[in-house]
């Protein structure tokens, strides 16, 4: 089993991603850290606890992380995720409690205490990760890799024409993370446009014996209404499934930079996709495994497999 920590801004697709992680046999979820992004961190935290309640999940440490991006004022995405961030689910009080520790400290401590190098699956703005790296750079020694949902190709943004939401919200944090030297797989917005389920597949999910399948179906249905289309891109789930089966994505190691100064291009991931170029030996840009494509068949097969198992 691979030890992982999942960082979320729950968030409708974060919720589906968490369900997938919990249902997988191969991921040992050491904890979930929350961050402000799709919604404010307090809502993201509440939603995460509520989601765990919905499927009667086992006890998993949930740690509340950063309130706001490193230096920018927070931008949220409630027009996509609903005013509370969990679609149509009304979120009440949970009997679960969060850990006392701040999410950033939880990240640092859990990474350092792990017997094996930890994989971090980052599904929201990169504020927590950046703070952790700044506070204790030594954590890099016990990190296997980062799998990040974020970024986009040149004309492929969602929050703006050129920027994907997670990177847009905290471009400085993204820059710190990309420049950390850690192995990174970036599942871009472009890739997730291929990660959708057919109407039939969603119906099968809705009639799954597993509550997790039913919950996922309802959340996907909500996104379908928001996007006014059937082919709803499932962003955060793509990152989780890529962690389970790398062949789901097509990734290439490419130089990357984050635009932090631009007025119009804020948050753009400038990925060097120019063909037939060899990077100069002193090229300082970090290299990251960038996925622009998801194999839809493999994606849906694995997702369905995980969320339509018989009830345990």
Partner 1 sequence: MLSTNQKRKVIIDCDPGHDDAIAILLAAGNPNIEIVAITTVAGNAEVEKTSVNALKVCEIAGLHDVPVARGAGQPLFRERLTAPDIHGESGMDGPQLPAPSKQLVEEHAVDLIIRKVLASDGDITLIPVGPLTNIAMAMIREPRIKSKIAEIVIMGGGMFGNTTPAAEFNIYVDAEAAKIVFESGVPITMMGLDLTHQALATPDVIKTLSAVNNKASTFVVELLQFFGKTYLEKFGFPHPPIHDACAVAYCIDPSVVETKRLRVDVETKGELTYGMTLVDLYGVTGREPNVNVALKLDQEKFWDMIKRSLEQLS
Question: Contact residues for partner 1 (CB under 8 A)?
Answer: 66-68, 70-71, 102, 104-105, 131, 134-137, 172, 175-176, 261
Short-list 31, 102, 42, CA closest to 74: 42
Which residue's CB is nearer to partner 1, number 104 or number 242?
104
Which residue's CB is nearer to partner 1, number 59 or number 141?
141
Q: How far is the CB of 243 from partner 1 (least distance, A)?
A: 28
Q: How far is the CB of 70 from partner 1 (least distance, A)?
A: 6
Which residue's CB is nearer to partner 1, number 128 or number 308?
128
Phi-psi region of 11 (alpha: psi -120 to 50; beta: other; left: phi over 0): left
Q: How far is the CB of 296 from partner 1 (least distance, A)?
A: 38
Q: What are phi and psi of 170, to 5 degrees?
A: -140, 75
Which residue's CB is nearer to partner 1, number 53 or number 136?
136
Q: How far is the CB of 56 from partner 1 (least distance, A)?
A: 34
Which residue's CB is nearer to partner 1, number 86 or number 130?
130
Which residue's CB is nearer to partner 1, number 102 or number 298?
102
Q: How far is the CB of 103 from partner 1 (least distance, A)?
A: 10
Q: How far is the CB of 277 from partner 1 (least distance, A)?
A: 26
Which residue's CB is nearer to partner 1, number 96 or number 109?
109
SS3 for the chain, per residue?
A: CEEEEEEECCCHHHHHHHHHHHHCCCEEEEEEEECCCCCCHHHHHHHHHHHHHHCCCCCCCEEECCCCCCCCCCCCCHHHHCCCCCCCCCCCCCCCCCCCCCHHHHHHHHHHHCCCCEEEEECCCCHHHHHHHHHCHHHHHHEEEEEEECCCCCCCCCCCCCCCHHHHHCHHHHHHHHCCCCCEEEECHHHHCCCCCCHHHHHHHHCCCCHHHHHHHHHHHHHHHHHCCCCCCCHHHHHHHHHHCHHHEEEEEEEEEECCCCCCCCCCEEECCCCCCCCCCCCCCCEEEEEEEECHHHHHHHHHHHHCCCCC
Q: How far is the CB of 132 from partner 1 (least distance, A)?
A: 11
Q: How far is the CB of 105 from partner 1 (least distance, A)?
A: 8
Lookup result for tokens 């307090």? 42
Which residue's CB is nearer to partner 1, number 70 or number 148?
70
């Amino acid at each position: 089993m691979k030890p992982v920590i999942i960082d979320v801004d729950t968030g409708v697709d974060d919720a589906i991603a968490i369900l997938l992680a919990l249902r997988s046999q191969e991921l040992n979820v050491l904890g979930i850290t929350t961050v402000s992004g799709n919604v404010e961190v307090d809502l993201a935290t509440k939603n995460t606890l509520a989601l765990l309640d919905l499927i009667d999940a086992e006890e998993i440490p949930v740690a509340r992380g950063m309130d706001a991006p490193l230096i920018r004022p927070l931008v949220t995405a409630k027009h996509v995720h609903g005013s509370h961030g969990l679609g149509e689910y009304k979120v009440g009080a949970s009997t679960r409690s969060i850990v006392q520790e701040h999410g950033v400290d939880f990240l640092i401590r859990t990474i350092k205490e792990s017997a094996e190098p930890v994989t971090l699956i980052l599904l929201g703005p990169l504020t927590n990760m950046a703070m952790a790296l700044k506070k204790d750079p030594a954590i890099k020694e016990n990190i296997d890799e980062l799998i990040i949902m974020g970024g986009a190709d040149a004309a492929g943004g969602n929050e703006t024409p050129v920027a994907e939401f997670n990177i847009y919200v905290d471009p400085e944090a993204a820059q710190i993370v990309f420049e950390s030297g850690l192995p990174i797989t970036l599942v871009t917005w472009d890739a997730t446009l291929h990660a959708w389920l057919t109407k039939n597949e969603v119906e099968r999910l809705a009639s799954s014996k597993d509550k997790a399948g039913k919950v996922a179906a309802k959340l996907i249905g909500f996104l379908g209404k928001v996007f006014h289309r059937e082919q709803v891109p499932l962003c955060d789930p793509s990152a989780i499934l890529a962690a389970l089966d790398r062949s789901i994505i097509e990734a290439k190691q490419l130089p990357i930079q984050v635009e932090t100064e631009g007025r119009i291009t804020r948050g753009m991931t400038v990925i060097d996709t120019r063909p037939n170029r060899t990077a100069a030996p002193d090229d300082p840009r970090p290299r990251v495994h960038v996925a622009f494509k998801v194999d839809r068949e493999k994606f849906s097969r694995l997702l369905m497999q995980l969320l339509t198992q018989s009830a345990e």
